[in-house]
Structure 1
Amino acid sequence: MTSPTGDQYELALTSEGAHARAVITQLAAGIREYSINGIDLVEPFRVTDSPPMGAGIVLAPWPNRVRDGVWEHAGETQQLALTEPARHNAIHGLLRFTPYRELERGVEALRLGATVYPQPGYRFLLDTEVEYRLAADGLEVTHRIRNAGDGAAPVALGAHPYLRLGETPVDELVLRLSAATHIDVDERLNPVGESPVDDTEYDLRGGVPVGRLRLDDGFGGSLVVDGVVEHSLTAPDGRSVSVWGDEQFRYVQVFTPRSFPGGTAHDDSGTRLAVAVEPMTAPADALNSGAGLRWVQPGETWTARWGIRHRGIV
């Protein structure tokens, strides 16, 4: 039987007494499983399922939403397919349902590729690559986008991991964001402004239990320390898992659905709370605002890196 996510690529690494394991999917080059010594650090899902609520997928050549799927380029209106019809938006780029091809595979690393072909609303030709590599302290992800066309192409990147710490209830995990601004949105979750988080419910820099949060919100102004932006979840026993990105990942989306499928990490019955911490190089509607948007020149390759780290897990 063919899986809804295509071929499954298993990576493994034993280092410093810890056994890391990841399963990457052919569809959307997504992370289906990632664990340390059997402790899940992302929400796993069954090989017979599609990614629930976008779990683990790559978001390219833009993350998040484009209002009405409409933007302007070279004086012409561009109309993208409305892939979020309930809100009349285009969402999460053009590779969400694309099977990637294997470019290079090892025991602890994998490189996949997919092409974005010119199409209505996005008339650019891009060769994209995603490289996953297990390391002693986490999972490292490198994106490369080469403009194979003859005109500059607007590009942004994101990913959609749902984080967890084994069987620790998600509502007990404390979320800390290094973000100083909140992306204000309308009823369709499209940006209408950006505000400081100081003295608001959106100030998560000091940490807030996930159980108190009801978010599908973007944040910006992330603090860069030694070239890295980092957002973390911490369990009551001090163990933590974090999403980090290079200095290009200055935006993050946090999504806390109460209807994530599965009663526990490995139970397919019922629904429960989950938390997605989505690193992004640009916020929602960047094709219109230009915020964080990278214009990749013909023949140029743009590289961006992010990953998942763990602390206190052996």
Structure 2
Amino acid sequence: MPLLPTQDFQGQSLVRVGDADNFLLLAPQYGGRLVRWVHHGEDILYWPDNADWSRPAKVRGGNPLLFPFIGRHFVDGVAGQWRDRQGAVHTLAQHGFARDLPFEVGMIDAAGSITMTLRDNTQTRPGFPYAFVFDAVYALLPDGLEVTLRTTNTGDQPLPCYPGHHFYFALPHAQRAGSTLALPTVDRVRQLPDGAPGAAEAGEPVYRLDDPRLQDTYHVLRGAAGAILSMPARTIAFELDVAGSVRWHAVTTWSESEQSDFYCVEPWVGLPDAIHHRQGLRWLAPGQSESAVCRLRVTG
């Protein structure tokens, strides 16, 4: 393995790819987390100045990787559990385990791309008894970023999964009323207390980000897949209909509070608890590999 290009950030040695004005800082050792994405000298993502690096998976910022499942899953009302095809119940944390575990760095081009890999191990198998390779590939584009989440079934039984992103976009809370999210044709859904999706409502074409209907809400894509996040400082267009990608099932919107200086727009392959209700659930055959690809184009 060649010496990795690194940069000290908040007392941590992070991997850096890119140039002076367009670069990524990543923490493979902390869940493969994208910590900073700088585009034309400006931070696109939020990261707190007082981040607790003793518990990096709990830090609100960057882009945590969600795998093998996103969101909350329940068995008989008990959160953090899921039932397999044979009826066995397993314990798995919300959003899975990827954000809590170290990734290996595979291919890297210091000019602008990196592949980080998580493989099944003694920490993953108790709650997810499958053999897998999960790759996160980040590649800088002249006008943005392409991210590929690639899952490979290296075992001898079908593997269930529905990964996703948790992008924390930098946005002062006072600017929410002046920011919007445009969506294609979608159904607006929230999760019920037992884990099942609630009743679907027709989504709006455009929302202001201070609209309470966006909080912890899943926008289920019914045709074209994408979104446009327009903020005073910049616009970010999500391209989700990328050739070679599996279908993205939903775009999720969330923020911790009305005073948070970030807003999350998250492409997800499935809905929370899909392992039970199957909306977006993927099954990979032994030896099969598939990728979920999104592109984020920045203007402004």
Give TM class, smaller chain: 0.7 to 0.9
Equivalent in the alignment of 1:296: 284
* Contact 1:6/1:99 (8 A) holds in 2: no
Normalised to the residue count of structure 2, the TM-score between the two structures is: 0.81
List runs of 5+ in structure 2 lacking aligned partners: 1-7
**Identical residues among aligned pairs (%):** 20
Which stretch shifts more, 41-50 or 140-149? 41-50
Moved over 4 A (4+): 2-7, 165-168
**Equivalent residue of 1:53, what SS?**
coil
Deviations for 1:164-188, whole angstroms, at most 9, x for unmatched residues? Answer: 3699834421122335112232247
**Equivalent residue of 2:210, what SS?**
helix
Equivalent in the alignment of 2:249: 250
TM superposition shift of 1:123: 1.0
Equivalent in the alignment of 1:266: none
Equivalent in the alignment of 2:216: 216
**In the alignment, which of 20, 31, 35 is matched to residue 34 of structure 2?**
31
Q: Does 2:101 match 1:98? A: yes
Letter in structure 2 aligned against 1:182: R
* Contact 2:62/2:168 (8 A) holds in 1: yes
What is the number of equivalent residue pairs in this alignment? 276
Which stretch shifts more, 47-56 or 29-38? 47-56
Which stretch shifts more, 145-154 or 3-12? 3-12
CA distance in 2: counterparts of 1:106 and 1:132, whole angstroms: 10
**Equivalent residue of 1:193, what SS?**
coil
Q: Report 1:1-314 matches (<5 A).
A: 7-13=13-19, 19-26=21-28, 27-46=30-49, 49=52, 50=56, 52-53=59-60, 55-67=62-74, 68-81=79-92, 83=93, 91-107=94-110, 108-117=112-121, 119-164=125-170, 169-187=175-193, 190-197=195-202, 203-205=203-205, 207-213=206-212, 215-224=215-224, 229-236=225-232, 239-246=234-241, 248-258=247-257, 272-311=260-299, 313=300
CA distance in 1: counterparts of 2:106 and 2:11, whole angstroms: 18
TM superposition shift of 1:223: 3.4
* Contact 2:162/2:269 (8 A) holds in 1: yes
CA distance in 2: counterparts of 1:72 and 1:215, whole angstroms: 28
CA distance in 2: counterparts of 1:167 and 1:66, whole angstroms: 30
Change in CA separation of 1:109 and 1:78 when aligned onto 2, cut-off 3 Å: same
CA distance in 2: counterparts of 1:196 and 1:242, whole angstroms: 24
List runs of 5+ in structure 1 lacking aligned partners: 84-90, 198-202, 260-270
